[in-house]
Amino acid sequence: MGKKLQGTMMLLLTALIWGSSFVAQRAGMEYIGPFTFNGIRSLIGGLVLIPVIFLFSKEKNAELTEAEKKAGKKTLLLGGILCGIVLFAASSLQQIGMVYTTAGKAGFITALYIVLVPILGVFIRKKVKPIVWLCVILAVAGLYLLCMTDGLSLGRGDLLVLLCAFAFSIHILVIDYFAPRTDGVALSCIQFFVCGILSLFPMFLAETPVWFAILDCWIPILYAGVLSCGVAYTLQILAQKHTDPTVASLLLSLESVFAAIAGAIILHEQLAPRELAGCVLMFAAIIIAQLPSKTEREAAEDSK
């Protein structure tokens, strides 16, 4: 199997894990509160990545001077803390929102970060392709069909997940800044520990975690912690070494489709024709937003 095909398969598996994790999150909410679930799964995700860091960091550290190592640690720590804070906000909004909406809807609404990222990029002077504005219109129309089933009203869970998509957009932009400047896996590990620790405070203040309830939903917690946080992120890092970024983003956006499929198969959730039409519009917006422009295609051809 070629490296390019291997990378594609890894990214598809990552999207599958992330998409089906919406089902795990919703299943876990039947036993424990959102902050308890997020706190435990984030800490598990951080623990899973520790051996991965040692595995991939030995060769990198050997090539660096002491000054570079010291500067790198400061950047890594700052980036990990900032990413962890934003991730805490995003994952908390998502987990609470899933109490009031379906896993399929949550998957599609969360996937709006792919459209929101370039929009937010305008404020930090990043260029936005004209076609992206069409994607925004399509996504808003799809969101209306998917969520606003009772006239001009947005469901409580849908609104929270929409805010979650906005937070994840900020999270992606923060990672976009720090990832090229430090080790990606170590950055992810720190952010998971920060997110997990921050979740512990509202967990004890607003919820009553019971060990028996936590043990009853050990499968969803392990799935979300080990596979969604630890394994999927590592697969993404490895796969993108051999995959074009635009193609990688498109493949990863399939998590929304897998979320809807998993919700229908495992949780027996059903989407009405109107809601399915909304999903189609939103997914179309996601795909179009990732397609390279004519200029980018010509540049890619010239570089060959």
The model's pLDDT over 71-85, given as tens digits with 9 standing for 90+, comes to 678 888 999 999 999
* Confidence (pLDDT) at 175: 81
* Confidence (pLDDT) at 199: 94
* Confidence (pLDDT) at 198: 96
Task: Check: CB of residue 138 under 8 Å from CB of residue 277.
Answer: no
Task: Characterise 183 by phi-psi region: left (phi > 0), alpha (psi -120 to 50), beta (else).
Answer: beta
CB atoms within 10 A of CB 112: 27
Summarize pLDDT for 5-44 with one digit per residue, the tens: 787 788 889 888 988 887 787 778 788 888 999 899 999 9
* Confidence (pLDDT) at 197: 95
* Confidence (pLDDT) at 247: 63
Q: Which two tokens stand for residue 110?
A: 């969360």
* Confidence (pLDDT) at 77: 92
Q: How far apart are CA 94 and CA 224, in angstroms?
A: 13
Which amino acid is residue 260, in one-letter code? A
* Confidence (pLDDT) at 58: 58
Block means of pLDDT (10 residues each) for the chain, length 304 residues? Answer: 75 86 79 89 92 70 58 86 93 84 73 76 72 77 69 74 88 81 85 94 87 88 89 76 64 74 74 79 74 56 50
Task: Check: CB of residue 288 under 8 Å from CB of residue 51.
Answer: no
Q: How far apart are CA 179 and CA 253, in angstroms?
A: 20
Q: Residue 44: CA atoms inside 13 Å, Cβ hemisphere, count?
A: 19
